[in-house]
């Protein structure tokens, strides 16, 4: 216990812990776990008060050229009903979102060749032209550096690209041969250099993940020093080869949220939909463990069922306004409030 307290102190001081120290921290007992949580909550409050930022997520296409083994919209899932939103539909999502108080829009989609750079740029210009006071985040996968540069020049502010795992062997087990950890990392460093606010992240409890993989993730994240980190439990999808693997654990996800908050005090850390899917109060628990962002869905309800990265995803039947109100009540129940703001990161480290 005493040595755990010591490790936590060193984590807080910004010392680089060794891999084995990180592994013992990840596996700490409940008392040390509570110590981590309470410290993470304190640091969240010091940096962001009781404000919780929201982002309106627009899942604009579920076509994907990739075939990640864990993902429900992987190319080889022939039972997935594919859809693309039209630019008009996307603009309607933004309009509704703006009225509801969202000041960040996240355009998320599979790697869909239809949305080539010209089309993406046109969308960015249209959204930023109409909503200059909003931040625009892209989450559309791996692209050449030139494409990232074009989107940035058109006005995109942020980019989410989870690294998925920082361990090369693990990466290979989760993906196909045409996908490499090197390219994933190349993308993240390019995005950072170009000037985006960058988000990386990983799934907790993904198939073949070991404690060592998680330690690698933590060390990589510390080095990248991103503005945002998305983590959530792995959840099986019945149309993937990982359908029989167990889902990631709530406790481990919460513990990692706390560790990340302590390691990067100013980072933007969402309590994800996946967390809400494995526990009815998952998002609240995530906030209490150090998270400070929620990302409800603004996609039209007619397509939400089709954007199933994993089984039993919550909120697929709710209208955007319902989710906003529901989240607002949930945040109030733990003494926090949803704020109307772009919610930029206070980590200006790049
Ligand atoms: N369970 C949990 N998260 C998943 N993602 C993809 N598939 C799953 C799954 N089965 C996550 C990946 C991806 C993000 C958009 O969703 O980490 O980067
Ligand atoms: Fe969607 Fe609660 S957040 S219904």
Q: How remote is the C-alpha of 346 from its chain's centroid?
A: 17
pLDDT, mean of residues 129-154: 98
How many Cβ atoms are within 10 Å of 91's Cβ, its own excluded?
17
How far does the centroid of ligand 1 lie from the alpha carbon of residue 130, in Å? Answer: 31
- Best residue for ligand 1 mutational test, from 310, 311, 314 (most atoms within 8 Å of Cβ): 310
- Decide whether any atom of ligand 2 lies within 6 Å of the 97 Cβ: no
Domain span at residue 192 reads 48-339
Predicted confidence (pLDDT) per residue in 47-70, tens digit: 999 999 999 999 999 999 999 999
pLDDT grade, residue 347 (50/70/90)?
Answer: confident
pTM, rounded to two decimals: 0.97
Give the whole-angstrom CA distance, residue 200 versus residue 161.
5
Nearest ligand to the C-alpha of residue 324?
Answer: 2
pLDDT attached to residue 346: 84
pLDDT grade, residue 345 (50/70/90)?
Answer: confident
**Range in 181-185, 186-190, 346-350 the model is least confident about:** 346-350
Predicted confidence (pLDDT) per residue in 232-268, tens digit: 999 999 999 999 999 999 999 999 999 999 999 999 9
Q: Give me the chain's average pLDDT, please.
A: 97
pLDDT, mean of residues 84-94: 98
Predicted confidence (pLDDT) per residue in 187-209, tens digit: 999 999 999 999 999 999 999 99
- Decide whether any atom of ligand 1 lies within 6 Å of the 162 Cβ: yes
pLDDT attached to residue 1: 46
- Decide whether any atom of ligand 2 lies within 6 Å of the 327 Cβ: yes
Which atom of ligand 1 is the closest one to the Cα of 274? 2
Predicted confidence (pLDDT) per residue in 94-115, tens digit: 999 999 999 999 999 999 999 9
CB 218 within 8 A of CB 190: no
- CATH number, domain of 328, equals 3.20.20.70
Furthest-apart CA pair in the chain: how many Å?
Answer: 59
In a domain, 43, yes or no: no
pLDDT attached to residue 350: 42
- Best residue for ligand 2 mutational test, from 275, 314, 333 (most atoms within 8 Å of Cβ): 314
In a domain, 205, yes or no: yes
Which atom of ligand 1 is the closest one to the Cα of 70? 10
DSSP string, 279-299: STTHHHHHHHTT--EE--B-S
Quote the number of domains for the chain.
1
* Interaxial angle between packed helices 30-48 and 2-12, expressed in degrees from 0 to 180 and rounded to the nearest 10: 20
How far does the centroid of ligand 2 lie from the alpha carbon of residue 56, in Å? Answer: 12
- Decide whether any atom of ligand 1 lies within 6 Å of the 203 Cβ: yes
How far does the centroid of ligand 1 lie from the alpha carbon of residue 310, in Å? Answer: 7
Predicted confidence (pLDDT) per residue in 276-330, tens digit: 999 999 999 999 999 999 999 999 999 999 999 999 999 999 999 999 999 999 9
Predicted confidence (pLDDT) per residue in 213-224, tens digit: 999 999 999 999
- Decide whether any atom of ligand 2 lies within 6 Å of the 323 Cβ: yes
Which atom of ligand 2 is the closest one to the Cα of 314? 1
| Percent of the chain clearing pLDDT 90 (strictly above) | 97
């Amino acid at each position: 216990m005493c040595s755990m307290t010591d490790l936590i102190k060193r984590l807080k001081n910004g010392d680089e812990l060794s891999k084995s120290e990180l592994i013992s921290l990840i596996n700490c007992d409940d008392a040390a776990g509570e110590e981590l949580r309470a410290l993470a909550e304190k640091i969240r409050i010091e940096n962001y008060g009781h404000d919780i930022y929201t982002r309106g997520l627009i899942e604009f296409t579920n076509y994907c050229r990739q075939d990640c083994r864990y993902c429900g919209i992987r190319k080889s899932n022939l039972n997935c009903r594919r859809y693309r939103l039209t630019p008009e539909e996307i603009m309607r999502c933004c309009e509704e979102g703006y009225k509801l108080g969202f000041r960040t829009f996240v355009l998320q989609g599979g790697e869909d060749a239809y949305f080539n750079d010209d089309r993406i740029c046109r969308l960015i210009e249209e959204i930023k032209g109409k909503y200059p006071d909003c931040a625009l985040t892209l989450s559309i996968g791996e692209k050449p550096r030139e494409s990232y540069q074009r989107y940035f020049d058109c006005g995109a502010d942020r980019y989410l690209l989870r690294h998925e795992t920082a361990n090369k062997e693990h990466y290979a087990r989760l993906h196909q041969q045409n996908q490499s950890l090197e390219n994933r990392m190349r993308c993240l460093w390019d995005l950072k250099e170009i000037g985006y606010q960058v988000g990386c992240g990983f799934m907790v409890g993904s198939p073949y993940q070991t404690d060592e993989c998680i330690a690698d993730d933590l060390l990589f994240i510390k080095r990248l020093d991103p503005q945002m980190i998305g983590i959530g439990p792995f959840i099986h999808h019945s149309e993937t080869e990982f359908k029989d693997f167990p889902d990631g654990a709530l406790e481990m996800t919460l513990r990692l949220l706390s560790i990340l908050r302590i390691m990067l005090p100013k980072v933007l850390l969402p309590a994800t939909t996946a967390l809400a899917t494995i526990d009815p109060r998952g998002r609240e628990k995530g906030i209490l463990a150090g998270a400070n962002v929620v990302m409800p869905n603004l996609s039209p309800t007619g397509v939400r069922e089709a954007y199933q990265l994993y089984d039993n995803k919550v909120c697929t039947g709710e209208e955007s306004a319902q989710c906003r109100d529901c989240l607002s009540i949930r945040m109030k129940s733990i003494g926090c409030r949803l704020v109307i703001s772009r919610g930029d990161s206070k980590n200006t480290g790049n």
